[in-house]
């Protein structure tokens, strides 16, 4: 093996251009396989999580099942005790945030003497993070306004056509409220219209309950799920697992299920199929790159056999068998291929380091990661290529007539 490695290194020292051309396809194929495997793993995980968060797949909504409640008058509706049970549950993962919303009913309102319909909702402090609400102008509610039930409000970007500004006073069902902030426009998902966040008026939860709904029953309880950074699966699978926990916590003290769990659906199989198809197509491109490299190596080794015809004749004259010649050239081909694979791995590490720095800067939180299986597969494919595409040149070398080989100039 040392002799064959020395032969490969001698080829590199004496014919650098030829050696690089010989192994270029393997280098590119190995590097692309390792880099692609890493980027697809981290990128797929990151994009799936970002996509799920953007579409609300990380939110579990608990609401009353009115059919079950109407059919069972003694059935328990969701209440503040359910919110408190979820908030204090040790079964929920540490990244879960629990909040509740109140109302979500239409009310008559006026602004600067002009009437309009207001879709009012009471919220807790956690709602801004759970629903990813941002302010375009003004400020959010402060702790004293939540605790003291102050008459303040935050309006959506499209309330009264966007004519409401911080500092204005709006009257809802005749009661005055001071506007402290205006939300940024939020993309509309689902039915939109008056139910859109852009058309809502937000009040601190206690303010809403004292002004419009003394029962203090939440309309919805919302659990926002944040998987740990170490989680490598699909976001939906993680959220579905948390949803089972939410269901178990809420069923304590209930004999009949009177609530519905909305949000993510169990259709992760479709997403997995799409991702698997994308992976297969990209890896197929890598396979063709390595195939081209293999053909290139075979061609170069055929030329090498021609150039070393006299050497082959000398070895045969000294007693080397055909099997010895086959083993010699096959081992040299495998060695050259594996050297190319090692160069490809080095190139892959450099590219991944550069990609990690760039993606961490532009995308955010992108770790340096190498898929161990891709290294093993790259080395295995290189070995297969060395054996499969080196056998024919080795066979040609072994079939040379010793007498004719000695006469070759």
pLDDT tens track for 252-309: 878 888 888 887 665 555 556 666 777 777 777 777 777 777 787 787 777 777 767 7
Determine what percent of the chain is predicted with pLDDT higher than 90.
20
375 or 399, higher pLDDT = 375
d(CA 280, CA 288): 12
DSSP state of 103: E
Tokens of 178: 């001071």
Residue 54: what pLDDT?
46
pTM: 0.55
Is pLDDT of 233 > 90?
A: no
Q: What is the mean pLDDT of residues 359-386?
A: 80
Q: Which long-range contacts (CB under 8 A, 24 or more apart) does 366-375 make?
A: 366/42, 366/46, 367/42, 369/38, 369/41, 369/42, 370/34, 370/38, 371/34, 371/37, 371/38, 371/41, 373/37, 374/33, 374/34, 374/36, 374/37, 374/38, 375/34, 375/345
Is residue 164 within 8 A of residue 245, CB to CB? The reply is no
Determine what percent of the chain is predicted with pLDDT higher than 70.
81
Q: What is the mean pLDDT of residues 26-30?
A: 83
Is residue 164 within 8 A of residue 110, CB to CB? The reply is no
CB atoms within 10 A of CB 69: 17
Q: Tell me: the pLDDT tens digits for 164-204?
A: 999 999 999 999 999 999 999 887 655 556 678 888 999 99
Give the pLDDT band (50/70/90) at residue 396: confident
Query: Is 218 exposed, middle or buried (CB count within 10 Å of its CB: 0-12, 13-18, 19+)?
Result: buried
Q: Tell me: the pLDDT tens digits for 85-139?
A: 888 888 888 778 899 999 878 889 999 989 998 889 999 998 888 888 899 999 9
Paired sense of beta strands 97-111 and 114-123, if any: antiparallel
Is residue 325 within 8 A of residue 397, CB to CB? The reply is yes
């Amino acid at each position: 093996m040392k002799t064959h490695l020395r032969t490969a290194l001698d080829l590199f020292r004496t014919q650098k251009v030829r050696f690089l051309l010989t192994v270029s396809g393997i280098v590119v194929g190995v590097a692309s396989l390792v880099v692609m495997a890493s980027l697809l793993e981290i990128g797929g995980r990151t994009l799936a999580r970002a996509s799920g968060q953007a579409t609300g797949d990380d939110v579990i909504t608990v609401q009353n099942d009115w059919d079950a409640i109407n059919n069972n008058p003694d059935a328990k509706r969701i209440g503040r005790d359910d919110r408190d049970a979820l908030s204090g549950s040790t079964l929920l993962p540490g990244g879960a945030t629990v909040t509740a919303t109140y109302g979500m009913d239409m009310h008559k309102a006026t602004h600067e003497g002009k009437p309009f319909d207001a879709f009012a909702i009471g919220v807790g402090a956690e709602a801004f993070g759970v629903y990813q609400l941002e302010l375009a102008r003004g400020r959010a509610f402060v702790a004293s306004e939540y605790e003291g039930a102050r008459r303040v409000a935050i309006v959506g970007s499209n309330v009264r056509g966007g004519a409401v500004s911080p500092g204005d006073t709006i009257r809802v069902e005749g009661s005055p409220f001071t506007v402290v902030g205006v939300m940024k426009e939020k993309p509309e998902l689902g039915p939109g219209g008056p139910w859109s966040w852009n058309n809502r008026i937000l009040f601190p939860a206690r303010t809403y309950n004292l002004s419009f709904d003394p029962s203090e029953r939440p309309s919805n309880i919302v659990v926002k799920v944040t998987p740990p950074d170490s989680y490598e699966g699909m976001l939906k699978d993680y959220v579905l697992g948390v949803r089972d926990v939410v269901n178990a916590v809420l069923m304590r003290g209930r004999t009949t299920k009177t609530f519905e769990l909305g949000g993510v659906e169990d259709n992760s199989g479709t997403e997995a199929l799409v991702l698997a198809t994308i992976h297969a197509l990209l890896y197929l491109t890598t396979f063709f790159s390595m195939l081209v490299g293999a053909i290139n190596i075979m061609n170069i080794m055929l030329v090498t056999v021609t150039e070393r015809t006299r050497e082959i004749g000398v070895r045969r004259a000294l007693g080397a068998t055909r099997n010895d010649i086959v083993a010699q050239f096959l081992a040299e081909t495998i060695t050259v291929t594996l050297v190319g694979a090692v160069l490809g791995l080095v190139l892959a590490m450099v590219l991944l380091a550069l990609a990690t720095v760039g993606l961490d800067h532009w995308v955010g939180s992108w770790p340096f990661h190498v898929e161990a299986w891709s290294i093993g597969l790259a080395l295995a494919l290189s070995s297969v290529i060395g054996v499969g595409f080196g056998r024919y040149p080795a066979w040609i070398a072994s079939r040379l007539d010793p007498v004719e080989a000695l006469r070759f100039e």
